[in-house]
Chains A and B, each alone.
Chain A
Amino acid sequence: MSDAPSPAADSTDSNAADAERKRVVTASLTLGGAVGITALSFGLAAVSAGANVWQACALSFFTFTGASQFSAMSVVGAGGSVGAAFGGAALLAVRNFVYGLALAGRLTNDERGRKLPLLHRLVAAQFVIDETTAMSTAQPQPRLARTAFWVTALSLFVTWNLGTLIGALAGSLLDTRALGFDAAFPAAFAAMLPPHLRTRRGRLAAITGAIVMVALTPFVPIGIPILVAVVGVLFGVRP
Chain B
Amino acid sequence: MSNGQLWLLIIVLSVTAYALKVLGFVVVGSRTPPPLIERCLALIPASLLAALVAKDTFTSAQDFVVDARAAGLVVALIAVWRRAPFIVVVVAAMVATALVRRFA
A: which residues have CB within 8 A of B? 34, 37-38, 40-41, 50-52, 55, 58-59, 62-65, 67-68, 70-72, 74, 76, 78-82, 85-86, 88-101, 103-105, 107-108, 118, 121-122, 124-126, 128, 177-194, 196-197, 201-203, 205-214, 217-218, 221-222, 225-226, 229-237, 239
Decide: B48 and A230 in contact? CB cutoff 8 A: yes
The smallest C-beta distance from B58 to any residue of chain A, in angstroms, reads 6
Decide: B8 and A191 in contact? CB cutoff 8 A: no
Evaluate whether A178 and B54 lie within 8 angstroms (CB atoms) in the complex, with A55-B10, A230-B48 already known: no
The smallest C-beta distance from B45 to any residue of chain A, in angstroms, reads 5
> Considering only CB atoms, which chain B residue lies closest to A51 in the complex?
B6
| Chain B facing A: main interface SS | helix
Q: How many residues of B contact A (CB 8 A)?
A: 80
Evaluate whether A178 and B41 lie within 8 angstroms (CB atoms) in the complex, with A34-B85, A118-B26, A128-B25 already known: no
- A90 to B12, alpha carbons, bound, how many Å? 10
Which residues from chain B contact A52 at a C-beta distance below 8 Å?
3
Decide: A217 and B62 in contact? CB cutoff 8 A: yes
Which residues from chain B contact A68 at a C-beta distance below 8 Å?
13, 17
- A83 to B104, alpha carbons, bound, how many Å? 37
Q: B67-89 toward A: CB 8 Å interface, digit per residue (1/0)?
A: 01100110011011000011101
Among B8, B72, B85, B98, point to the contact of A186 (Cβ < 8 A): B72
Evaluate whether A210 and B50 lie within 8 angstroms (CB atoms) in the complex, with A91-B44, A101-B30, A218-B62 already known: yes
List 3 A-B pairs, minimum CB-CB distance, nearest first. Answer: A100-B24, A232-B47, A100-B25
Among B16, B52, B62, B73, point to the contact of A71 (Cβ < 8 A): B52
The smallest C-beta distance from A197 to any residue of chain B, in angstroms, reads 7
Decide: B55 and A98 in contact? CB cutoff 8 A: no
Among A74, A183, A192, A205, point to the contact of B43 (Cβ < 8 A): A205
Decide: A64 and B59 in contact? CB cutoff 8 A: no
Among B31, B33, B69, B90, point to the contact of A191 (Cβ < 8 A): B90
Which residues from chain A contact B54 at a C-beta distance below 8 Å?
209-211, 213-214
Which residues from chain B contact A221 at a C-beta distance below 8 Å?
62
What are 21 pairs between A and B in contact, CB < 8 Å?
Answer: A34-B85, A41-B86, A65-B17, A76-B6, A82-B9, A85-B13, A92-B45, A93-B17, A95-B45, A100-B28, A125-B25, A128-B24, A188-B89, A190-B77, A191-B89, A209-B54, A210-B51, A213-B50, A218-B62, A226-B48, A233-B40
Among B18, B86, B94, point to the contact of A38 (Cβ < 8 A): B86
Decide: A179 and B13 in contact? CB cutoff 8 A: no
- A100 to B23, alpha carbons, bound, how many Å? 8
Evaluate whether A205 and B7 lie within 8 angstroms (CB atoms) in the complex, with A93-B20, A217-B64 already known: no
Decide: A78 and B89 in contact? CB cutoff 8 A: no
Decide: A191 and B76 in contact? CB cutoff 8 A: yes
The smallest C-beta distance from B78 to any residue of chain A, in angstroms, reads 10
Known contacts A108-B25, A183-B72, A206-B49, then 19 further A-B pairs from the complex at CB < 8 Å, ordered by chain A residue: A41-B90, A50-B6, A55-B6, A62-B14, A72-B9, A85-B9, A94-B44, A97-B23, A100-B22, A178-B102, A185-B56, A186-B56, A188-B89, A206-B46, A217-B59, A217-B63, A230-B47, A234-B40, A239-B39
